[in-house]
């Protein structure tokens, strides 16, 4: 069974800011829940390739979303270098600058990402104080739709105590999907705690995909966790719209794959989750 990880992070040591640092109010709960800072600062490209080989992950989509003032242009340049060095292992989703959100600049960065061979752009609206459907982002959506790029959006909870989660509610993504009907959208982290609402958005819009990066699959499969609506639809009406992703190094592929395989999902559902849907979304991957 082929495996495509739809979300891994551009390793920190290859980013312009080679050591991850952020204000304590942003990181303290991330570190308590996910041990984020240590994982990000210790995850290397060599380690990622090793674990992909060990777990049979033949390809990964690497995201270079900007965080805490990093230059999107510099991140995209670093991402392109990784892909050039490992063209059969990685496909790239680039970054755009949203702090501050300057619509014309963002649109130009989308076009530059396409010119560089990237397949999409990734945005974290809440971290810039923006709603998913903020009009400052509409030139990005329009240009991405025009150029047939994917837009990946952080959705649902963040553990930052500086950024309200209201910016990433499901109805905001629904508005974007209504306004850009041919734009393919990824709801990264699958929108908890608004799981039923995100399922409704995906059910309404075949262009919306739900991705599980950074999440422990055993909790997605656990009754009463809040994931029940989505887990119940993964084997039927949303089987074609879910993506396996780890957000490595936040979640280990070893753990994620083992927990998905133990979740009770059928073989056909796992095949779609692990690779089939990503291949339809991103096209023929090496």
CATH entry, 4-282, from 3.40.50.970, 2.40.30.10, 3.20.20.140, 3.40.190.10: 3.20.20.140
Residues of the chain above pLDDT 70, percent: 99
Residue 260's pLDDT is 99
Three-state secondary structure of the chain? CCCEEEEEECCHHHCCCCCCCCCHHHHHHHHHHHCHHHHHHHCCHHHHHHHHHHHCCCEEEEECCCCCCCCHHHHHHHHHHHHHHCCCCEEEEEECCECCECHHHHHHHHHHHHHCCCCEEEECHHHHCCCCCCHHHHHHHHHHHHHCCEEEEECCCCCCCCCCHHHHCHHHHHHHHHHCCCCCEEEEHHHCCCHHHHHHHHHHCCCEEEECCCCCHHHHCCCCCCCHHHHHHCCCCCCCCEECCCCECCCCHHHHHHHHHCCCCCHHHHHHHHHHHHHHHHCCCC
Q: Mean of the pLDDT values across residues 104-125?
A: 97
Task: Flag the least confident range among 19-23, 91-95, 139-143, 270-274.
Answer: 19-23
Residue 160's pLDDT is 73
Residue 112's pLDDT is 98
Q: What pLDDT, in 10s, does the model give residues 197-239?
A: 999 999 999 999 999 999 999 999 999 999 999 999 999 999 9
Q: Mean of the pLDDT values across residues 125-134?
A: 92
Q: Mean of the pLDDT values across residues 103-128?
A: 95
Q: What is the pTM of this model?
A: 0.95
């Amino acid at each position: 069974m082929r495996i495509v990880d739809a979300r891994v992070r551009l390793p920190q040591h290859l980013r312009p800011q080679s050591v991850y640092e952020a204000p304590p109010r942003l990181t303290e709960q991330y570190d308590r829940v996910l041990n984020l800072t240590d994982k990000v600062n210790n995850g290397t490209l060599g380690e990622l390739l090793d674990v992909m080989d060990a777990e049979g992950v033949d390809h990964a989509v690497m995201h270079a979303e900007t965080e805490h003032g990093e230059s999107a242009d510099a991140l995209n340049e670093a991402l392109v270098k990784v892909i050039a060095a490992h063209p059969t292992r990685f496909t790239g989703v680039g970054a755009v600058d949203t702090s501050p959100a300057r619509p014309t600049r963002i649109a130009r960065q989308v076009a530059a990402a396409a010119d560089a061979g990237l397949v999409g752009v990734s945005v974290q609206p809440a971290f810039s104080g923006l709603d998913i459907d903020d009009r400052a982002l509409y030139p990005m959506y329009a240009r991405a739709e025009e150029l047939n790029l994917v837009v990946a959006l952080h959705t649902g909870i963040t553990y930052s105590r500086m950024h309200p989660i209201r910016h990433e509610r499901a109805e905001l993504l629904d508005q974007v999907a209504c306004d850009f009907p041919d734009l393919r959208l990824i709801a990264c982290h699958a929108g908890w705690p608004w799981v039923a609402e995100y399922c409704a958005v995906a059910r309404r819009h075949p262009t919306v995909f739900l991705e599980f990066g950074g999440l422990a699959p055993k909790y997605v499969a656990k009754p009463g966790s809040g994931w029940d609506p989505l887990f119940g639809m993964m084997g039927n009406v949303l089987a074609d719209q879910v993506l396996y992703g780890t957000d490595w190094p936040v979640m280990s592929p070893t753990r994620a794959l083992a927990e998905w395989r133990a979740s009770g999902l059928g073989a056909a559902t796992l095949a779609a989750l692990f690779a089939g849907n990503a291949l339809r979304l991103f096209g023929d991957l090496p």
